[in-house]
Each structure stands twice: as C-alpha cells, then as structure tokens.
Amino acid sequence: MQATPSKTGSARGEKGAGGRADGTPLGPIASEMGGLLDGLRQALAMPRARKIHKVGFEAEYLVLEEDGAVSVRADELISRTRLPDSGCSLHHDYTHNMIELTSPAGPRVRPVARSWLEAMARVLDEAARLKLRIYPYGTYTGTHAPAVRTDARYRMQEEVLGPERLRDAGGHCLGFHLHYCLPHGTFGRGARTLRQLFRSKGRDQLLSLYNLILACDPAVTNLMESSPFIDGAHRAKDSRAFLYRAMRLGRGPDALKGLYYDLPLFGRLPRYAHAISDLILLGEQRQRLWREIVEERHPAYLELADSLHPLQFNWSPLRINRIGTLEYRGLDSNLPSHIIGTSLLLKYLLHQVQEEGLRVVPSDIGIREPFRREGELLHVPPFSYLDEVLQFKSALGGLEDAEVARYTRRFAALAMLSVPSRRDPGLERVRRIVQERRTKSDEMLARARRLGWDGEGRLGEETARALALEACGELEGEVRRMAGMELAIDSEDAQA
C-alpha cells in the first residue's frame, strides 16, 4: 500500500496493498555457462573503476498466535519491538495481521543483510515474549479473514479496485522487495522524478537495468516462490503472482483473477522501456487514469488522489519510486537464505551491466539462448514471450516446467560469474534450488502430503496450522544460525 519513505533512510518505497572459489564446476549450472564465460573473460580483461551501487531490502511477514492461527496483534508487536540502531524499520501494512521490516539502502549487500538479520532477531525475540510467531512465506497455508485498516488511502484503493479483491490480494499476499539505486544523474532529488536525458551514459544504464530486471522475473520468482496455497487450496506454485498481478488462472466462475486484472496499467508486468520518456509518460498515464476513475466514481477521494506523486500510482512488479531506486517487488517473501542468495545474484548481475556497459537487447535469440552475451550485448526474450509465456509458466508450475528450469539455470549461471565469493548459505540455497528443481513451494506441498493432504482438496485447518508453525520454526532457526555464520557477502569489503 502507499506509504512515505522512512525517516531513517530505509529502502522502503511506496508500499503496494499489501561454483566455489577454487573453480570447481557447479553441476547443472556449469553446463549453461558455455559462451557466457568467454564473453565475460574478455570484458574483465580491462580494469575499470568501481562505482557505488546501493541495495536495500523490505520484507512482509504474517503474525500468528501460538496455535498457528492468524493474529490481529501486529500493532502491539510493532510498538513493543526495539530495533538496533542500524537504520532498519518495522512498519504496519494493509492489515492488522502483517508487519514489514525494511533495511537502509547501502552499497554492499553485507551490511544491509547483517543489519536486517539483527533486526529480524529482535522482532522474533519480542514476538516470543508476546507469545506470537512470525510466518515468513508468500501466502498463509490456511484460511483467515484479513483485518484491514481504515486509512483513507486504503479505502480509496478499495473503492477503485474493489473491496473484496483488495482484501483477498492485499490481505493474503506477503512479498519481498529489492531496491537498487538508479544510476547517477538520472533522478532529480528535488522533484523526485526521472530526468529527461537524451545522450547520457546514465540513461543507457537505467534502461538496461530496468529491462534486465523485467527479463529476470520468470527466473528469480522461482528462487523465492513460497505461495502454493490460497485459503488452504493449491492453485499454483506462485499463487501470489496470480492473486496480485494482472493475471488470470482458469476460466469461468472459479477463475482466479489478479487484483489488477481489470486495470492492468497499475499492476501488470511492465513492458520494456526504450527511452526515459517511456517511463515518465507511463507514470503520468497511471496518475491521469486513476484520477479520472476517482473523479467519476469516488469523488470523495479526489483531494487525496491529487495529493499523491505520479510515482505513487504504480503497484506493478517493477517500479521507480520516490526515493530514487528501482524497486523490484514481484517476489514472495521467504527465509533469509533465499532473500540473501537471490539478492546477491540480482545485485551482481545488475552491477555487471553497469560496470561493463552491457546493453540489454530483446530478441528472438533471447528465446533460444536467454541471457546470452555477445560482446556488450545481452540477449533477453521479446516482451510478448516474457509476458505471455514465461511469466505464466513460471507462476503456474515453477521449475517443473523444463523451459522455465532452463531459463532459470541460464540466469543463475550468468549472475554467479560476478559474485565475489560462493561460500554462503544463501548462494548454496539458490544452487540447490536450481540443481534439484525444488523450490520452497515444492517443499511445502510435499510436507502437506506427508501430513495427509490428498493433493486435491483444501488443507484441513489442523494441517494448515501445523505447516504454518513449522514455517515459523524454520525462520527462527535460520535467523539464529545465520547470525553467527560467515557469509559470502562479507567478502564485499575487499571488493568495493
């Protein structure tokens, strides 16, 4: 949902509703490297000055009672939690059932992840004192009725998008957002908007970064997917995508239509951008359409709509926000190892684009050989194929689909080449997901079957709560373990 940036300078933007160092091969990933290695070696032969590329985290969580039922005590937990003085912030969200933990934006993943883990440990400690649990995955395993807030901005969104639709999507979806700072000189801090640039290195970098994040979406969502259930029913591996985006699953009265299905301008996977004016005009178009809807149907909220910035009308998987970052917000929430491993791959792939001056090119080559590098060109699929084929296949079946699995392997192979070290629980987690083609959603479905679910009907409430409490235990155990572990991201100090 809409929110203003934290005064601590956190990465939080406008919220929506809701191989090894010794060179040993990386199993199946290595088989995808082929020509990627030759191009990268050639590019790395020329030393270049290192620039600052800031990243930040924000993650949403569900608050549960000790018995696994969804709690309405999120505000109590927020008010009682005292975070370390690291810039992290704990916020409320669209419902009284959810919390959001954000990190400060920094040039290295290491301090961002470290401060975020320390803050998460404080949240878990306070939750234990209040006899609460924290649920980390993209959708809750069982049924619950979201306890929505009454803020005016939420009421306006309910009126425009539909109250039931917003409650179903915003009240059930838990996401992770990765922030990556825009290239220098492309964002006006005073007006908090993009600058219209015609011939500029920063302009070219911005467009390549923006388009690459979009191209990575069908791959990266697999590494984070954790939403196989909606109200106890299995709909897809990434049910959150179908529930939240401008997508549809199935036909007829039982079809699952996403929150933005009828107003795709505000929530679909955006098209590739070919000029900064594309991005500026798209923002203005969103603002104009939203205002027209409010003025015609819900005039009581016209003053509120007029008070918002043009960048505050975008709830799509990728947006440029008012704090000057590319905010990739298309991912399920998940465990810290998934978050850190996925963030590392994305950060260093984007870093590679900036440092090596790569130009991201949609082409038919990108269908046959996605993420193929030819000199300074990086081939990705045309948008029509990305949007209509890969996005849908990825959300529905994940890595079970052979094409999606291959697409994800090629993404991971290219990104892994730039990571400074590979001794990391997050990278190991990502490596296992790609090699075994087994995501968190796959693990959750397997556990449900072991508890007696037949794979067809809804989960029983007892089974759903048992799965939810097991997930809470996974989060608690992983935060404790990772707090004392050496992470690959610790090597960034020597690289920066």
pLDDT of residue 39: 40
User: How far, in Å, CA of 260 to CA of 245, rounded?
Assistant: 6
pLDDT of residue 52: 57
Give mean pLDDT, residues 181-206: 88
User: How far, in Å, CA of 324 to CA of 321, rounded?
Assistant: 6
Q: Render pLDDT for 441-472 as a digit per residue (tens, 0 to 9).
A: 999 999 999 999 999 899 999 999 999 999 99
Q: Render pLDDT for 242-295 as a digit per residue (tens, 0 to 9).
A: 999 999 999 988 899 999 999 999 999 999 999 999 999 999 999 999 999 999
Nearest Cα neighbor of 108 from 45, 57, 60 is 57
Q: Which stretch of 102-116, 221-235, 257-271, 349-363 has the lowest confidence by average pLDDT?
A: 102-116
What global pTM score does this model have? 0.87
Q: Render pLDDT for 128-156 as a digit per residue (tens, 0 to 9).
A: 999 999 999 999 999 999 999 999 999 99
For 98, 290, 389, the CA distances from 64, given in Å and listed in that order, are 9, 35, 36
Architecture of domain 27-488: 2-Layer Sandwich (3.30)
Residues with Cβ < 8 Å from 13, sequence gap 6 or more?
5, 58, 177, 179, 319, 321, 322, 323, 325, 327
Residue 12 · residue 102 · CB < 8 Å: yes
Highest mean pLDDT among 52-56, 295-299, 319-323: 295-299
pLDDT of residue 120: 95
